[in-house]
Amino acid sequence: MVQIVEGVSRTFNEFLLLPNRTRRDCAPAAVDLRSPLLRHVAGEASPIELRTPFTSAIMQAVSSPELAIALARNGGLGFLHHNRSIEDQVLDVRAVKNFKAGFVVSDTNVRPTDTLGHLRDLMQRTGHSTAAVTHDGSHSGRLLGLVTSRDFHPQRHDPGALVSSRMVPIDKIPHAREDITLSQANARLWDERLDCLPVLDETGNLQHLVFRSDYTDNKRFPTQLVDDNKRLRVGAGVNTHDYRERIPALVNAGVDVLCFDSSDGFSDWQAEALTWTKKHYPEIGVGGGNVVDSDAFTFLAEAGADFVKVGVGGGSICITRDQKGIGRGQASAVLDVAAARDAYRDETGQYVPICSDGGLVHDYHMALALAMGADFVMMGRYFARFDQAPGAKLPTRDGFAKEYWGEGSNRARNWQRYGQGGSQLIFEEGVDGYVPYAGDLHEGLAVTIAKIKATMVSCGATTLPEFQSTARLVLVSEQSFQESHATVAARDTPTLD
């Protein structure tokens, strides 16, 4: 006979936090958002600690290297998606690991034999006006010259002419070797009145470009998440199909953390894959999921998961509940799994962090997820809105939107994430749509962080463990939920959610 599990499946909108007493020393500047990422002995430090409790969803529409770089610079972690060849994912891992603040990997690259028309189209696509001319048109080929918007004008020069006719050749371009520091590069930019300084290896291959404006930019990020060699940290999604080949390549490229990505991680395949990973790569942290209850958490923790991701059916692009009738309200799932994590800690002495993944619509939902016991959150829709996300930015009647599509949509066709049988997606579990454009990640995330800190201050907490152990939640009625919103019509201000 079917079992009816006690309790209602609840979501974040059904809860509010009660303010606690705010002590004098409890001010936003004192709030520390550090949180453990990986399994560790209870009471000791995690091998990797997030400086801010945010990770980006393992999705095509979200986790580009640009987004992972921006997020790590703000103390969080990007998870590069696996729905593509191993080689392509490895390139993205390398792009993040090779990022040096102020040292840019050139994204606008041509061969000398390309036409100016091709160059014009490329510059329009990347939005950059400095192109590297390399022997093979790649970002790391032998540098033959540079072309900037000073050297050619789309209306003035024949689009059929060759790049070589307008480029400034390498023998006329001041350049630097790889061991140059950012402050030395900056001194040369000013002393020699340069806009851009290419950095080459000893064989003349292009490594980076340094621009004037990036130097000051680097001072903005005091909470960067970096490894022992001061390189930004990055995560990568993997699947239970090709992990034996994919994981060695990702580890070789320098990935910091892995995560098995499945819409339903409570499976023998995932347990096997976790066990294999811990056996062959014990030094690499690997997460599992997604789950929604205590049994599934314990199953993955026992299989070796270093963190467990929580959430089935709550994602903004998700139609899994409509299509398959499985899932659980995200608040109930997080509360249940957090209790299982604490029980596992008490029993084994091991703390296995949990991540609340999907369904975070408002900034205060993040605070609720953290208060309910999530060690960190993972978000798709939230990050897809920013400049650094890969979706195209499109004009709409009300401003701009960014494309955002689910991994289970026909556009992504990530069959490895959805156990539908065989190596294809038989039916969709996600939609393909748009989210309101929200500008630069650094600015948007700063506002979100300010709100979460303010919430914690009202709840009298300056650390996440304190927040979790002292927070008081209440259920809201339909009537009081309505009261949460302004009753005076707001003047026309853009809404970003």
The answer on whether 332 is annotated among ligand-binding residues is: no
Chain-centroid distance, C-alpha 241: 23
Residue nearer to ligand IMP on the CB measure, 120 or 241: 241
Known binding residue 318? Answer is: yes
Other CB atoms within 10 Å distance of the CB of residue 25: 7
| 141/359 with CB nearer ligand IMP | 359
Closest distance of CB 349 from ligand IMP, Å: 30
262 is in an annotated binding site: yes
Closer CB to ligand IMP, 108 or 356, in the complex: 356
CA dist 272 and 268 (Å) reads 6
Residue with smaller CB distance to ligand IMP, 185 or 377: 377
| Residue 429 Cβ vs ligand IMP, minimum distance, rounded to whole Å | 4
Residues ≥6 apart with Cβ < 8 Å to 53: 33, 35, 76, 366, 370, 374, 375, 376, 377, 464
3-class secondary-structure state, position 364: helix
Whether 311 has a binding-site annotation, put simply, is yes
Is residue 111 within 8 Å of 482, Cβ to Cβ? no
277 three-state secondary structure = helix
Q: Please give the Cα distance from 175 to 144 (Å, whole number).
A: 12
Burial of 344 (0-12, 13-18, 19+ CB in 10 A): buried
Q: How many angstroms separate the CA atoms of 296 and 187, rounded?
A: 56
Residue 263 annotated as binding site: yes
Residue 261 marked in a binding site: yes
Options 259, 318, 355, 459, the catalytic residue: 318
In the complex, which residue's CB is closest to ligand IMP? 430
318 is catalytic: yes
CB 130 within 8 A of CB 108: yes
Q: How far is CA 98 from the centre of its chain?
A: 17
β-strand 49-50 against 40-41: which pairing, if any? unpaired
CA dist 402 and 315 (Å) reads: 17
Phi–psi pair at 179, nearest 5 degrees: -80, 5
To the question of whether residue 422 is assigned a binding role by annotation, the answer is no
Residues that bind ligand IMP (CB under 6 A): 57, 59, 263, 290, 311, 315-318, 320, 357-360, 378-382, 406-409, 429-430
Q: Least distance in Å: CB of 383 to ligand IMP?
A: 8
C-alpha atoms less than 13 angstroms from C-alpha of 412 in its C-beta half-sphere: 29
Say if residue 313 carries a ligand binding annotation: yes
Give least dist CB 197 to ligand IMP, A.
Answer: 39
Active-site annotation holds for 196:
no
At 90, phi and psi to the nearest 5?
A: -60, -40
Closest separation in Å from C-beta 10 to ligand IMP? 17
Q: Which two tokens stand for residue 244?
A: 């034996």
Minimum CB distance to ligand IMP, residue 136 (Å)? 35
Q: Which is nearer to ligand IMP, 277 or 409 (CB)?
A: 409
Residue 409, burial from CB neighbour count under 10 angstroms (0-12, 13-18, 19+): buried
Point out the catalytic residue in the list 233, 355, 417, 459. 417
Cα–Cα distance for residue pair 72/50, rounded to 1 Å: 9
Q: What is the residue type of 63?
A: S
Q: How many Cβ atoms are within 10 Å of 93's Cβ, its own excluded?
A: 23
Residues 71 and 388: their CA atoms lie apart, in Å, by 9
In angstroms, give the least distance from the CB of 241 to ligand IMP: 17
Q: Decide whether 274 or 378 has the Cβ nearer to ligand IMP.
A: 378
Measured CA angle at 126 (ends 121, 128), to 5 deg: 95
Cα dist. 402→65, 131, 345, 413 in Å?
17, 26, 41, 20
Nearest CB to ligand IMP, comparing residues 337 and 360: 360
Amino acid letter, residue 373: G
Q: How far is the CB of 233 from ligand IMP (least distance, A)?
A: 19
- For ligand IMP, the closer CB: 108 or 290: 290
Bind-site residues for K(+): 313, 315, 318
Write out the binding residues. 261-263, 311-313, 315, 318
Active site residues per annotation: 318, 417
